[in-house]
Amino acid sequence: MKSIYEYYAKWIREGKLKVSSDWNKERKVKFTIQDPCQIVRKTFGDPIADDLRYVIGKVVGEENIIEMTPNKSNNYCCGGGGGFLQSGFTEARRAYGKVKFDQIMETGADYCITGCHNCHAQVHDIGHHFGGHYSTVHIWTLICLSLGVLGPNERAYLGDDLKDVNVFHPESEH
Amino acid sequence: MKTNSNLEKVLAAGHLAVTAECGPPRGAMPDKVRERAAFLEGVCDAVNVTDNQTAMVRMSSLSASVIIKQAGFGLNPLLQMVSRDRNRLSMQADILGAYSLGIDTMLCLSGDHTKFGDHPNAMNVHDLDSIQMLQMVKGMRDEGKFQGGQDIKGDPPKMFIGAAANPFAGPNVQVRAMRLAKKVRAGADFIQTQCIFNVDKFEQWMEIVRKMGLHKQTAILAGVTPIKSVGAARYMQKKVPGMDVPQEIVDRMAATPKEKQPEEGIKICVEMMERIKKIEGVSGFHIMAIEWEEKVAEICEKAGLLPRPQL
Amino acid sequence: MITAERKPLEELLGYIAPYSRILLLGCNECVTVCAAGGRKEVGLLASALKMAARKSGKELQIVEHTLERQCDPEYVEEVASMVAQADAVVSMACGCGVQQMAMRYAKPVFPALNTKFMGGSERQGVWDERCAGCGNCLLGVTGGICPIARCAKRLMNGPCGGSANGVCEITPDVPCAWHLIWERLEELGQTEDYLEIIPAKDWKTAQGGGPRKIIREDLAE
Amino acid sequence: MQKKTKLQSNGSVLVVGGGLGGIRAALDLAEARKDVILVDKAPCIGGLMTQLDRTFPTNNCDLCTVAPFTAKDSRGGHLDMRGLTTVTAVKGKEGNFTVSLMTAPRFVNVEKCTACGECQRKYPECVSFAPGLDPRAPTCMRYPKATPYAYVIDMAKCADKEGLKQCCPVGAIETDALPKVEEAQCGSIILAAGAALFDPSHLDYFGYAAQPDVVTSLEYERILSASGPTGGKLLRPSNGQPPKKVAWIQCVGSRGLQKGAGAYCSSACCMFALKEAMVTRERFDSEIETTIFYMDMRAFGKDYEKYLNRAKEQYGVRLVHSRPHDVLRPVGMDKLQILYTVDEAPKHITEEFDMVVLSTGFKMNEDVKKLAEDLAVELYADGFPKTDCFNAVATSVPGVYVCGTLQGGKDIPETMTQASAASCLAGAKVAVTPRPKAELPAVTPECAGSPRVGVLVTLCDHESTALDTTALVEYAKSIPHVVCAAAFEAACDPSSFDAVKAAILANGVNRVVVAGSSPRYELEKYQAMLAPVGINKYLIEVANIREQAAWVHAGEPAAANAKAKQLVAMAVAGVMAAKPLADHVVPANKNALVVGGGVTGMTAALELAGQGAKVCLVEKTAELGGVARNLVKTIEGGDVQALIADLVEKTTSHPNIKVFTATEIVDHSGQVGLFRTGLSVNGAYKEIEHGATILATGATPNQPQAFLLGENSRVCTQLDLQKVVNEQPKEVKKWKNVVMIQCVGSRDADNPNCSRLCCQSSIKNALAILKENPNARIFVLYRDLRTYGRFEEYYQKARELGVIFVRYSVDNPPKVEAAGHYANVTFTDVIMGRQVVVSADCVGLSTGFVASRKSNEALAKVFGLPLTDDGYFAEMHVKLRPVDMDKAGFFVAGCAHSPKVIAENLTQARAAASRAMTVLANDTLVQEAKFAHVDRARCAACLVCVRACPFDVPQITVDDKGLGRSYIDPVKCHGCGTCAAECPAKAIQLNQFEDVQILSSLDQLLAKVNA
Amino acid sequence: MEQFEPVIVAFCCHYCAYTAADTAGSQRLSYPVGVKIVRVPCTGKVDAKHLLTAFEKGADGVLVAGCLVGDCHFKDGNVKAARRVEFTKKYLEEIGIEAERLEMVRMSAGMGREFAETATAITEKIRALGPSPVKGKNCCCGKAA
């Protein structure tokens, strides 16, 4: 069993995936990273977290990453796992998620990158619920953005600041 | 007649004899002797004068006997002599003296152990035991010889010789009867028994005694004691070795109100005497009313033993 | 066997008060057997005396020794050098041993024991009197039980009126000798013997006759 | 060229692994006079235990405790020990295996090497190897007293062969040595190669790989150890500073929690962590805060619960029921942070610690796994061997046995028990090899010559920091008649012992004082060690400066030192007054008595009978089978009734076994090899003679007055519940709710220990109920769920099947009330923070076991054996001699020792049989010169001794002079000394305890007082 | 003035009290340093002489520690020891040493805590009584101090 992060990193290193962080050189949009429990702590440990950071660094620029504390294998659970998102008890779920929210807020980052859909939904929800100013974005969204293959309709979770960056219009290609 | 003893005479005449007890005082108090003896005037045939009873020092038995003899009540002292305090020389000397002072009846005993008395450190002499003492007194009287074998000068002391018997002590009634036989053989003219409360057991003993024919060879005076209180009954039942007080007597005393207990004690005593009278071989009573001499007359009265024969 | 018991410490301390070098002398015969004056008791008494003396500020020097038998002159001779080193001798022997020492040595000899009686062992740690040394043994007619030594009143012709339940009126710890004799006679089928009157005892063979002596002509020099 | 030779040994047992279990198994076999080959791939034997600092529950230093085992090599020529040796191939089958052994070259001639350390100083890189935290501990020996005591060269790392060769002053280095390959025949094989430990490196959230202050429990043990990297100082690896706060995290690599972890519980880690925490506070600094984060505190062994209580109450070890989330060291921070939550409050807590210890569990060793596979032994998925459900040491291959952690995670006593059990089974496959016995050393007049005393201070420095051993040695030298005094760095350091031996010989020492731990442990060892240098065993005295000074006065060094000196002076005085004595040799009885006819007793009897011993099996009741008759199945599904039927059939038909039912033990006398026991067989008296005794009297199912037991028909014990499930499945199908309550009548004031088997038994019953009635809701109310070992997997299965486990605290126990047709159980669910009431169709109480106190007390009295506070039979050494009893020749097995499950009882039965065989194999036995003797010249023949002796030994006999004097038969004398104390002539003395010895000791003891 | 530290000799039976003392040690249950243990095979071996000698040599107290009643390895050595202790107490009183300075106690091998407690209790008792009255005059902890 392998994680896609490992492949992203491998492909980037091998030059197969030609990502670039140039788009963010001037903008300096700040990102923080949510390490998914299942992938990092419970399965692959810090090495996969490091791969994830390598990928993100290449995509958004290393200087634009702000780490949460603690992170990697010690990262807190987002509070949405274990079926919590689907099981009701919304109030309790959000109460647990407050820890994560505070952690994200403390970084001051504009975006929180999540690598897992479950985390994404929870981080997004608590951001809204507690009135956070950050956006929640999936890693592949940013890879696509950096590759310049992200269409206008795939930017629902991007903030206004990135709505117009490297927009890919397949129809215009023709 | 072996002697001039009044007791011998009463017995010889076939009367039920009565003897009572008088303890000398623990001081040089001749009046006290007379005072106690006075209660017994006319109620008994001989008065036992105890010899350092319970191993407590008292006026000597011989002196008190003489005081009683000379008191003018017409009482006949019965000199008790224990082998505990004297050796054979001393005893024989006292017998000569007593006889010289008109005393003709005596009782040969071994005596209570000094342990119970006021001189527990004293030596228990027991040069002779009571049986050997009987032999000695009998030898003096009948053969005119001292125990050592030499002749007694002049008239030998003619003592009417008594001994004690305890039908209730150990090891068993058979041995007690055999011991009586030894005493009789040693020279006991009469016997005073331990206080009888258990008449049944006394009867058993008497039966053996009769079988051995001892009642014909000696006069058996049954010892009786009026009980003053339930406490006294219990004390005798539990604490006095060789005493047999049946439970029913204790119970009967206990069931009696305290103030009535002396009266009840006397009643019990008299009832027993009535029973004992009917036992074949009993020749009289020895009433031991210790520190209660004033009641002897009443007991004798109630037992139908008064007046005493004058012989 | 001769039995004995230790004297109170206080009495012994009184005896030895003037002295500081003590020879404490045990005897390996009777008093060892009755746990009164053997090596072990010598050891205990030595400790006790030393401690008691120390309490009053005095250090006692005690030499402990136990002789095979203290009533024989030859054995007593063995300790001559020890006696010479001592101010006084405390003997844990019976009276015989004490006297043997006193006769031999011109030093003060004190008895540490009270010599009690000639007796036998009833059981571990318990001894009772059996013989009065009367010099004229009656045991042949009393079923092998001596009434002189074992009856509180030395009655020779049967139990007194205080005999009850097999025990002496003096103390329930002591069996009535005559009770025992009777049982024994019954056991032997000799109850008739009891009817024999034992006449007055000749005490001159006993202590009544003064210090006694035995001379075996064939042995005596 | 490899040299290939064939070993001249038929009918051996091959023991693979020289750890504690392997050593125990090999020694049992050798003592039972069977040939053994013990191989270990390491250069020296000792295994894992030799790396431990101290072991629970005595908190002793293991180096000393294990020493007698490793020091006494080659027992009677039966034991062939080989280091650096591996098994390369196995052929054949049970009774006739051919094994190929390869011994790697050591490059050091063991005979020549003096372990001077010159090679290590000059060529540190070539000298292999040290375990633990730092590869260069003070000595490169694996532990200070390695057996055999010699260095090992790693030739691959050596660049200058010639220089290395030359550096050795005794020419022991053989740079050209080649591996040796041999073949050996053996009848059976015991695998005792231990287990590996879980490596937590990949668990990044614990920071083990990244943070030097995060260590495994074994590494922490090495830090505590005197022979460890810090020389016995507790220091943080990161900065060399002493820690103020240390935390333990339990279940790392166990209970299926982490990646790569086994699903089983490793069984030993809870106690291990408790011990480390206690030692930390006791030995280093009572100010150090110790915290253990745990899931369930699994203190299920004998008296372990009391140990747990001591840790909490006496040592103030903090226990937190939590599974920490993280171990962090934020940048710029010196300390580690542990993030965790607790049951009571759903918020996360961050706490700082200086060190974090990960209690890592066991896992299968890959090398061993390969060997097992070569042997075609069936394995579980996790690599551990599958064993029979009634025979934990028997593998799927006949003639191949396993023991210790190789079989599954466990602690030392269980390892020792399994080792003995394995040796019992393996030994039954091979015959006794007759070998001449070594002559006893003669008692010579020289040994009694003018006293020249040697004092050996054997207390390791780390036994207590309170004692100044150097000063003690100096003091000893100043004692008159002491001609030499020396200290051992560690009690069992052979090199310093060689120096001591030399000193003894050079100084003409004829008496020895050993200042160390209790003579109860030490004396026998030193007697054996010093015999070769001509010291009579009775001219050795032990000064117990460990228990009586170092330990009791740990907090007052001045007092401890003064007392230690006094104890040494006392011992010198005592030994000066001692006399040399000779032991007695008498013929031994080779029969056995087994008391108790349950499964344990029957198994023990059958094992003994199978090895040729005549066995008398005594059962109190009219029937064999014991408490197990009430059981249906084991949790693994083993059919208990079939087992009993089989055992009864075999027992009653075995020609070597005589069964006495309805029989009680009434009296007992004698000693090991010569016992005599009186039986009341159906009321008739019968006397038997036997050489060894096994107690297998079981325990009593507890029936406490609690939770309406016996009052309400819905409430029953787990034993009853099991019966209902088995016999009335229709009833079970009707059940809606079942509640089980754990620890009823266990772990409380009346019965302070854990009954061990209840947790698995309730899970067994829960699973059985669900099988009949999958819709039943089952609640298990527990305090700590103690499903150790593979029972954990059943716990997991029960959870998966929906059994609800609710933890209750002892201060807030559940309540059971009658409610019409049901029993209402009220309890607090901590996680929900709510009271819950369940109307139960059945309430199963886990009532466990209590000691059969009354009958045990009666037996203990007859046999003269000690009981524990709880009324179970007390073994000799809770750690290393779990089935031996204090009284030689007595062994205990099964629930009479402490409650346990059937398989464990049977293992103990086999272990006891193995231990008993070590006694019964002997034709003669040596009796210690512990008897009273009479000085006939002093004896007054007073009979005091005759009357005082409790065994009627003294007699008044006539001697050659015709004198009737007391005579005490040395063979019959029990050595109590009562006669000596009561003899009025002081004619009797008890050997070893003569008055002069006691009085001299007293003199010395009190010398200063009166000075 | 320093606190008086009594010297107490404890004659301990190998099978019970001695083991209990070891247990106390291994459990680090401290007891007073003045309690010194003399190992005996059974309290039945303890001679009155040993007890007296202990006092003579300067012990402030003496403890005889044997097995629980009925637990003696030699049937009744502990009972015999108790009798000897009583006998010795009388001797002590004659000497002028308080009898309570000598005590017989009983325990089992597992009773480490009891051993420590007993040792502490008897030390406290003896401390209250003061130094042994028969101690040497020069003793540092004697009455003169």
Q: Smallest CA–CA separation between C182 and chain B, in Å?
A: 7
In this prediction, residue D125 carries a pLDDT of: 72
What is the average pLDDT across E3-12?
93
What mean pLDDT comes out for the span D481-506? 72
The pLDDT assigned to E138 comes to 43
Q: Where are the alpha helices (DSSP H) in chain E?
A: 17-26, 48-56, 77-95, 112-129
Interface of C with B (CB under 8 A): 152-166, 169-171, 176, 178-179, 182-183, 191, 194-195, 197-201, 203
Which of D110-114, D319-323, D986-990 shows the lowest per-residue confidence on average (mean pLDDT)? D110-114
pLDDT digits (tens, 9 = 90+) for D838-885: 999 999 999 999 999 999 999 998 998 888 888 999 888 788 889 998
Q: Is there a contact between D1009 and E22 if contact means CB atoms under 8 Å apart?
A: no
Domains along chain C with CATH numbers: 2-116 (3.40.50.2300), 132-209 (no CATH)
Topology of domain D931-990, CATH: Alpha-Beta Plaits (3.30.70)
Residue E141 pLDDT class (50, 70, 90 cuts)? very low
Asked whether D129 and D152 are in contact (CB, 8 A), the reply is: yes
Q: Which residue, among D896, D857, D905, D851, has the nearest Cα to D875 in the 3D structure?
A: D896
Q: Look up residue D145 and give its amino acid.
A: K
pLDDT at res. D528: 76
Of residues D155 and D71, more confidence is placed in D155
Residues of chain E neighbouring C123 (CB-CB closer than 8 A): none
Q: How confident is the model at residue D107 (pLDDT cuts 50, 70, 90)?
A: confident
Q: Which residue has the higher pLDDT, D833 or D651?
A: D651
Mean pLDDT computed over D385-405: 94
Contact D551 E84 (CB under 8 A): no
Query: Which residues in chain C are contacts of E95 at CB distance < 8 A?
Result: 9, 48, 51-52, 55
CA distances from A69 to A43, A75, A76 (A): 20, 7, 9
CB D588 within 8 A of CB D632: no
Q: Does E53 touch chain C (CB under 8 A)?
A: yes
Number of structural domains (chain A) is: 1
- Across the interface, do D204 and A46 touch by the CB < 8 Å criterion? yes
How much is the pLDDT for D54? 62
Which of A45, A69, A76 is the closest to D204 by Cβ?
A45
Topology agreement, domain D197-362 and domain D448-579: no
Topology adopted by domain D105-178: Alpha-Beta Plaits (3.30.70)
Of B271-280, D58-67, D196-205, D404-413, the one with minimum mean pLDDT is: D58-67
pLDDT of residue D172: 77
**What is the nearest CA distance from D281 to chain C, expressed in angstroms?**
47
Residue at token pair 């993030």: D339
- Which residue range is the domain that position A97 belongs to? 4-173
pLDDT computed for residue C66 by the predictor: 96
Average pLDDT over residues D725-731: 93
Domain membership of residue E141 (yes or no) is no
The band of A60, judged by pLDDT with boundaries at 50, 70 and 90, is: very high
What is the rounded CA–CA span in Å between residue D553 and residue D565? 13
Residue B73, pLDDT score:
87
Radius of gyration of chain A measured on its C-alpha atoms: 16
Task: Find the mean pLDDT for residues C181-197.
Answer: 92
On the question of pLDDT at D61 being above 60, the answer is no
Q: Round the average pLDDT of chain B to a whole number and report it.
A: 94
Looking at residue D137, what is its pLDDT?
A: 30
Give the residue with greater pLDDT, D308 vs D516.
D308
Average pLDDT of span B89-114: 95
Query: Going edge to edge, which strands form the sheet with E8-13?
Result: E35-40, E8-13, E61-66, E102-106
Q: What is the mean pLDDT of residues D548-558?
A: 86
- Other chains touching C, judged by 3 or more CB pairs under 8 Å: B, D, E
Ramachandran angles phi, psi of C92, nearest 5°? -100, 20
E49 at the C interface (CB within 8 A)?
Answer: yes
> pLDDT tens digits for C58-114?
999 999 999 999 999 999 999 999 999 999 999 999 999 999 999 999 999 999 999
pLDDT over threshold 90, residue D138? no
**Å from B160 to nearest chain C CA?**
21
Question: Is residue E144 domain-resident?
Answer: no
Distance separating alpha carbons of residues D25 and D47, to the nearest angstrom: 14
Per-residue model confidence (pLDDT) at position B262: 93
Pick the most confident of D868-882, E16-30, E48-62.
E48-62
Which residues in chain E have their CB less than 8 angstroms from residue C8's CB?
94
User: Residue D253: in which H helix or E strand, if any?
Assistant: none
Share of chain D above pLDDT 90, in %: 55
CA distances from D28 to D22, D310, D353, D597 (A): 10, 34, 45, 25
Considering only the beta carbons, identify the residue of D938, D947, D948 that sits closest to C39: D938
Average pLDDT, whole number, for chain D?
Answer: 86
**In the predicted model, is pLDDT for residue E140 greater than 80?**
no
Per-residue pLDDT at D141:
35
**Do the beta carbons of residue B154 and residue C180 sit within 8 Å?**
no
Strand, helix or coil for residue D413: helix
CATH of span D197-362: 3.50.50.60
pLDDT digit string, tens, across residues E101-134: 999 999 887 788 889 999 999 999 999 999 999 8
Q: Read off the pLDDT of residues D77-97 as tens digits, 9 standing for 90 and up.
A: 688 888 888 999 999 988 889
> Which residues of chain C neighbour E136 with C-beta distances below 8 Å?
54
Indicate whether D620 pLDDT > 90.
yes
Q: What percent of chain D has pLDDT over 70?
A: 88
pLDDT tens-digit readout, B201-242: 999 999 999 999 999 999 999 999 999 999 999 999 988 878
Query: Distance of CA D669 to CAs D546, D589, D678, E107, Å?
Result: 34, 14, 9, 23
Of C214 and D60, the one with more pLDDT? C214
Beta bridge partners of D394: D401
Asked if residue C23 lies in contact with residue C46, where contact means CB atoms within 8 angstroms, the answer is: no
Give the whole-number percent of chain E exceeding pLDDT 90. Answer: 66
Which value does ipTM take for this structure?
A: 0.76
Whether omega before B226 lies within 30 degrees of 0, making that bond cis, reads: no
> For residues D514 and D522, is the Cβ–Cβ distance under 8 A?
yes
Q: What percentage of chain C's residues is helix, strand, coil (to nearest 5)?
A: 35, 20, 45
Flag the least confident range among B123-132, D314-323, D339-348.
D339-348
E57 near D CB under 8 A:
yes
Domains contained in chain E, number: 1
pLDDT of residue D116: 63
Cα E30 from Cα E7, distance rounded (Å): 16
Res. D1011 pLDDT band, cuts 50 70 90 = very low
Lowest mean pLDDT among C37-41, C112-116, D360-364, D874-878: D874-878
Identify the closest residue of chain E to C10 by CA–CA distance. Answer: E94
Partners of residue D1011 in chain E, C-beta under 8 Å: 136, 138-139
Going from the N-terminus, what domains does chain B have, and what CATH number goes with each?
Answer: 6-229+268-302 (3.20.20.220)
Interface residue of A1, A38, A73 to substitute, partner D, most D CBs within 10 Å: A73
Choices 3.30.2270.10, 1.10.490.10, 3.50.50.60, 3.20.20.150: CATH for D701-850: 3.50.50.60
Contact E45 D978 (CB under 8 A): yes
pLDDT of residue B224: 95
**CA distances for C79 relative to B54, D141, D932, angstroms:** 51, 66, 30
Is the separation of the CB atoms in D995 and D1003 below 8 Å? no
> Any idea where the domains of chain D sit in the sequence?
10-104+180-195+364-435, 105-178, 197-362, 448-579, 592-697+856-920, 701-850, 931-990
- Place D133 in a pLDDT band, splitting at 50, 70 and 90: very low
Q: Please tell me the predicted confidence (pLDDT) of residue E87.
A: 96
Cβ pair D701, D615 in contact under 8 A: no
The SS3 assignment for D238 reads: coil
Tell me whether residues D1011 and E75 touch, CB distance under 8 A.
no
pLDDT at B38: 93
Instruction: Match domain D592-697+856-920 to its CATH number in 3.20.20.70, 3.50.50.60, 3.30.420.270, 3.40.50.720.
Output: 3.50.50.60
CA A4-A10-A12 angle, to 5 degrees, is 105
Residue E91: which CATH number?
3.40.50.960
Shortest distance, CA D247 to any CA of chain A (angstroms): 17
Residue B93: per-residue pLDDT: 97
Contact present, E and B (at least 3 Cβ pairs less than 8 Å): no
Predicted pLDDT of residue D217:
94
Say if residue E84's pLDDT is above 50. yes
Candidates B191, B193, B197, B199; CA nearest to B215 is: B191
Q: In the prediction, which pLDDT does D258 show?
A: 82
- Output the domain CATH number for residue A88: 3.40.50
D2, with CB counted inside 10 A (0-12, 13-18, 19+), is exposed
Residue B51 per-residue DSSP state = S
3-state helix, strand, coil in chain A (%, to 5): 50, 10, 40
Chain E residues whose beta carbon lies within 8 Å of the beta carbon of residue C52: 94-96, 134
pLDDT digits over B156-204, tens only?
999 999 999 999 998 999 999 999 999 999 999 999 999 999 999 999 9
- The answer to whether the peptide bond before residue D950 is cis (omega within 30 degrees of 0) is no
Give chain C's mean pLDDT. Answer: 94
Does the structure show a pLDDT above 50 at D134? no
**Fold annotation for D448-579:** Rossmann fold (3.40.50)
